[in-house]
Amino acid sequence: MLKFTNIQVKEIVAHQVGNKNRNEKCFTSGGSLLLDENLEATLTKYFLKPFRQISETYRFVHSTDMSYHLMNGISQKIFLNNDDFYSNTIEILNHLYNQSNHPQIKNGDLFLVLFDDILIEDELVQAVGIFKSERKDAFIKLSTQQNQIVINQEEGISLKKIDKGCLILNLFGDEGYRVFSFDNNDYDANYWKNSFLGIDYVQDKNYDTRSYIDMCRGFADEVIKEKSGKKDQLEFLSDSINYFDFNEKINVEEFKETLFETDDQLKEDFSNYKKQYEEDFNVAIPMEIPISRVVVQKQKKAIKNFIKLDTGIQVKLDFKDPESTKKFVEKGFDPDKGMHFYKVFYNEELN
């Protein structure tokens, strides 16, 4: 995880990037921004807020050789000579513009920041931040003219959420600098990470934990739900989360024995699914993985814990108490009505 307690802003540059497909132009600032202390602090908070929720690490990759990777080369020039930061931001701007050749890609304001003293794994490193703001928000501004209050509507950058951003850390430059990235828009996902940055995941415990949880979600949806229904699907996900919460590492064999107990068929299904998942998604999931707590907490929020029925009723289950679902929820079929049902047991209704 990144920590910003001691972070310092060394230089900030702002440009505007257009859409090449629509023949829009780019505009350069002509130099670095001169900011007072308060504005610099506001912008720094604005730029760095998304990274507090990011756990996955990327690195620059190239199919042939890293010497051909444009962004890795520009980053190296910046880290070797900070004095040329502005001229290198022009190269980054031009590269981004050349990738902005799809009609859906929006123009926007581009901020490039040279940071000192970002803490990662007990090491203070320098980083290049690249941030693109595409959305404009309307705001009201009051002013005085000839002893009267005048109200005007203006348009500017919203400080609520920035659209795209990355931090390129001065680490492992020879094999591809480490990168943290986010993209709050999904209409052009390949444009930012693939076309512009040219990055791929670093296989660490965050990556392995996320891959394993994604595999479990796929197994729950494609195998257990198809065989046994939504209730068993959610029970499996609940038991999986419980396993992640109470163990320091994932051992695939132990995981199967714990969750499937005497069901040898499900154990075999899980092994087969893991093998197929690795082939389909080109990943190698180790048989033993240190658990990343940050990833588990993030993934837990993305798992839906309710059963939605076609009668307009939803049954919500509590993942914090996985045994409750097994003890107090029963599934059956009423032949008279020709309908499936869920029976829920309880002692009293709670407010």
Please write the tens of the pLDDT for every residue from 151-196.
Answer: 877 666 767 788 999 999 999 988 899 999 999 887 776 899 999 9
Name the strand (E) or helix (H) holding 125: strand 123-133
Taking residues 305-329, report their average pLDDT. Answer: 77
C-beta separation of 117 from 124 below 8 A: yes
Q: Which residue matches tokens 């990343």?
A: 292
Categorize the per-residue pLDDT at 329 as very low, low, confident or very high, splitting at 50, 70 and 90.
confident
89 against 36, higher pLDDT: 89
Taking residues 74-89, report their average pLDDT. Answer: 95
State the pTM of this model: 0.76
Looking at residue 195, its pLDDT comes to 93
Taking residues 43-62, report their average pLDDT. Answer: 90
Half-sphere exposure of 179 (CA within 13 A, CB side): 26
If 0-12 CB within 10 Å is exposed, 13-18 middle and 19+ buried, where does residue 6 land? exposed
Maximum Cα–Cα distance across the chain: 85
Looking at residue 328, its pLDDT comes to 83
